[in-house]
Amino acid sequence: MSLSTTKLGPMANAIRALTMDAVQAANSGHPGMPMGMADVATVLFSRFLKFDPAAPKWPDRDRFILSAGHGSMLLYSLLHLTGYAAPSMDDIRRFRQLHSPCAGHPENTELAGAECTTGPLGQGLAMAVGMAMAERHLNAAYGDDLVSHRTFVVAGDGCLMEGINHEAITLAGHLKLGRLNVLWDDNRITIDGDTSVTTSEDTPARYRAAGWHVVACDGHDFADIERALAEAVADPRPSLVACRTIIGKGAPGKQGGHNVHGSPLGAEEVAATRVALGWEAPPFVVPAAILADWRGLGAKGAAAHAEWRARLAASPRAAEFSARIAGDLPPLAAAHTAFAGWLTGDHKVATRKASEMALEVLTPLVPAMIGGSADLTGSNLTRAKATTPFTPADYAGRYIHYGIREFGMAAAMNGMALHGGIIPYGGTFLVFSDYMRNAMRMAALQRARVIYVLTHDSIGQGEDGPTHQPVEHVMSLRMIPGLEVFRPADIIETAECWLLALENAHGPSVLALTRQNVPQLRHTPGEGNLSARGGYRLANAGAARRVVLVATGSEVAIALAVRAALEGQGLGADVVSLPAWRRFMAQPAAYRADLLPAGVLKVAIEAGTSFGWAELVGQDGLVIGIDSFGASAPAEALYDHFGLTPAKIVPRVLAALETT
């Protein structure tokens, strides 16, 4: 079915009408962008996008990313009009209301047709880069028959102005992601007014400099849009399509101005727009002929989907491919055996080194694992032998040199995870998690399985000094809902936490790892994965218990030394290792109370902020932490300077015992 250009106008106006009426009903929302991009989106969906509304998760569909997430009504309109099961017209009527899947910004957990959650400007495009990387990798692994699709992005001035845009497009240009096409809503308006207020950049020149193909079109001329999109799709480079548009197009009194960006048009202007567009239908009604055109267009995708399913059915790798896309882990018995073997050894290694050893075991078993680092491979120890570099010449490679682009890396990893078939992990220094923090938050919000290998996790990194020494980071990452933060104490806990991170299929995980060596603390076989409960009793009091020492990561060994000193004075002390705070908090109250009993002095030891620890040790507990920035010196000198040695901690515990 091919739609004549005369049909496209009314189809685009259906988007405009739904948008202005939904925003008006909610008395909140952003009409400008969907009304301005309605024509471009109609051409994209009718002439280029490969999709099947009956199968929103069909693995070989094209990905459509609305990076300008404030224009969510564009996506909701398109999904409804083309015949996705959701959103329904009732959902659209309830735009921005509690429990409507038509939330203020698109949320992947609310709608099957929303590939990712967008709203923080710039990140949708950066996630799309990850999706395009995932497509190339899986194409290299499974061939054109099973994986051959494109990634289309609608981005606004804001998405292009954000700093992450530079990271994302230089990475995409370098990796020659020719199947990535960005449709730029070049309306020259942002909230504060004309873009001339804030920028004088030659944006196309910047894209060209990054190795992109750039083409422009009149975003309200269907034939011109089609020409530009055809050129973009044909070009082997990633493409920027600069669509010159008028924000709020169709609203006669408001189009072209910044006030139409994020406020309802108002009843009068809505009425005037109906007249201007010749749109006579009442709110939330799409005339049958226009709806039929949209639905016919949606139904068109079933054929391509059916052909793909036939190819999958004929493939000897069908089951493997489907399991991979579903995110199933292959059997990990060999890893369990290997890790159990470590119990009999005595490894004094940094936990970053233990992580590398774990990766050497895991990556050959789990082909979905794609590693990388933001230019700190030799420090993060993220590269295992099974993972060769991912390059334009070899997209089958499983190791991504992200360059010094932490935020871009984190967003790309979100895109890869959301694409499906990939379990991305990537490294940087823990202190630079701040650079990618919003993408980590977005991973949690989107329930994406992304694993962050964050090394040099305390003052223990030593001589680089306070700029490189995390103090507040571990605790502040624990505050992000849905983000698992693991801080393993030794080689055994590191292996356990890697397994837990992999098994955390619906959320991101942090592995906070030391630069400095730590002793192996566990040697007992058959105990199972003790880290799975978040915290566990590592050592029992010998003498009558007076103290419980709670510690994480490299400080667990210190806690054991403190315990030995206390026991030497006849004071019984337990040591609780707490590799995963939130997991521990999710345990039954009886389990927590058994580990942290009332009536006993509880002491927390962590080389980071004391903030928050009172929740575990109580107001009468003792918190040994660091509430200032670090300093530049060898690690041992810093542990002494900041009072984190047994010699400095024991007197404080004794003093606290006297007052309890």
Ligand X SMILES: Cc1ncc(C[n+]2csc(CCOP(=O)(O)OP(=O)(O)O)c2C)c(N)n1
Selected from 156, 427, 470, 579, the binder of Mg ion by CB under 5 A is 156
C-beta of residue 442 within 8 angstroms of C-beta of residue 120 = yes
Nearer to Mg ion, 156 or 488 (CB): 156
Q: Edge-to-edge, what's the strand order for the sheet holding 451-455? A: 399-401, 369-373, 423-429, 451-455, 509-512, 484-486
Question: Angle at Cα 588 formed by Cα 586 and Cα 594, nearest 5°?
Answer: 115
Selected from 118, 187, 516, 552, the binder of Mg ion by CB under 5 A is 187
CB neighbourhood size of 645 (10 A): 15
Shortest Å distance, C-beta 646 to ligand X: 46
Q: Which does 421 bind (CB under 5 to 8 A by kind): Mg ion, ligand X, none?
A: none
Nearer to ligand X, 412 or 453 (CB): 412
Q: Which does 119 bind (CB under 5 to 8 A by kind): ligand X, Mg ion, none?
A: ligand X
Shortest Å distance, C-beta 247 to Mg ion: 6
Candidate ranges 186-194, 375-383, 393-401, 652-660; the one touching Mg ion (CB under 5 A): 186-194
Packing angle, helices 222-234 and 5-26, rounded to 10: 100
Question: Angle at Cα 265 formed by Cα 262 and Cα 270, nearest 5°?
Answer: 150
Ramachandran class of 270: left when φ > 0, alpha when ψ lies in -120 to 50, beta otherwise: alpha
Instruction: Tell me which residue has its CB nearest to ligand X.
Output: 156
| 130 vs 128: CA distance, rounded Å | 5
Q: Which does 191 bind (CB under 5 to 8 A by kind): Mg ion, ligand X, none?
A: ligand X
Q: Which does 70 bind (CB under 5 to 8 A by kind): Mg ion, ligand X, none?
A: ligand X
| 635 vs 331: CA distance, rounded Å | 40
| 653 vs 575: CA distance, rounded Å | 14
Q: Which does 121 bind (CB under 5 to 8 A by kind): ligand X, Mg ion, none?
A: ligand X
> CA neighbours within 13 Å on the CB side: how many for 560?
17
Selected from 157, 406, 484, 574, the binder of Mg ion by CB under 5 A is 157
| Bridge partners, residue 182, by sequence | 153, 240
| 420 vs 296: CA distance, rounded Å | 28
Candidate ranges 82-90, 184-192, 626-634, 635-643; the one touching Mg ion (CB under 5 A): 184-192
* 406 is known as an active-site residue: yes
Nearer to ligand X, 185 or 406 (CB): 185
In the structure encoding, which two tokens stand for residue 142, read together?
């499974």
Question: Angle at Cα 576 formed by Cα 607 and Cα 629, nearest 5°?
Answer: 10
Which positions touch ligand X (CB under 6 A)? 32-33, 68, 70, 119-121, 156-159, 162, 185, 187, 189-191, 247, 261
Shortest Å distance, C-beta 9 to Mg ion: 23
Nearer to Mg ion, 101 or 248 (CB): 248
Tracing tokens 């006579």 back to the chain, one arrives at 280
Nearer to ligand X, 190 or 461 (CB): 190
Candidate ranges 154-162, 310-318, 450-458, 472-480; the one touching Mg ion (CB under 5 A): 154-162
Candidate ranges 153-161, 340-348, 607-615, 618-626; the one touching Mg ion (CB under 5 A): 153-161
Percent helix, strand, coil in the chain (nearest 5)? 45, 15, 40
Shortest Å distance, C-beta 590 to ligand X: 44
| 279 vs 414: CA distance, rounded Å | 40
Nearer to Mg ion, 203 or 239 (CB): 203
Report the largest interatomic distance among the alpha carbons of the chain, rounded to a whole angstrom. 90
Q: Edge-to-edge, what's the strand order for the sheet holding 601-605? A: 536-539, 572-577, 545-551, 601-605, 622-624
Q: Which does 20 bind (CB under 5 to 8 A by kind): ligand X, Mg ion, none?
A: none
> CA neighbours within 13 Å on the CB side: how many for 480?
24
Q: Which does 535 bind (CB under 5 to 8 A by kind): Mg ion, ligand X, none?
A: none
189 binds Mg ion (CB under 5 A): yes
Q: Which does 68 bind (CB under 5 to 8 A by kind): ligand X, Mg ion, none?
A: ligand X
Shortest Å distance, C-beta 190 to ligand X: 4
Which amino acid is present at 631?
A
| 510 vs 520: CA distance, rounded Å | 21
Q: Which does 32 bind (CB under 5 to 8 A by kind): Mg ion, ligand X, none?
A: ligand X
| 395 vs 370: CA distance, rounded Å | 11
Nearer to ligand X, 158 or 408 (CB): 158
Which residue out of 406, 484, 555, 606 is catalytically annotated?
Answer: 406
Nearer to Mg ion, 121 or 134 (CB): 121
Shortest Å distance, C-beta 193 to ligand X: 10
Shortest Å distance, C-beta 157 to Mg ion: 4
CB neighbourhood size of 249 (10 A): 24
Nearer to ligand X, 130 or 488 (CB): 130
Shortest Å distance, C-beta 68 to Mg ion: 8
Q: How far apart are the first and last CA of the chain?
A: 81
CA 171 to chain CA mean position, Å? 17
In the structure encoding, which two tokens stand for residue 648, read together?
């400095």
Shortest Å distance, C-beta 358 to ligand X: 35
Catalytically active residues are 406
Interacting residues toward Mg ion by CB under 5 A = 156-157, 187, 189
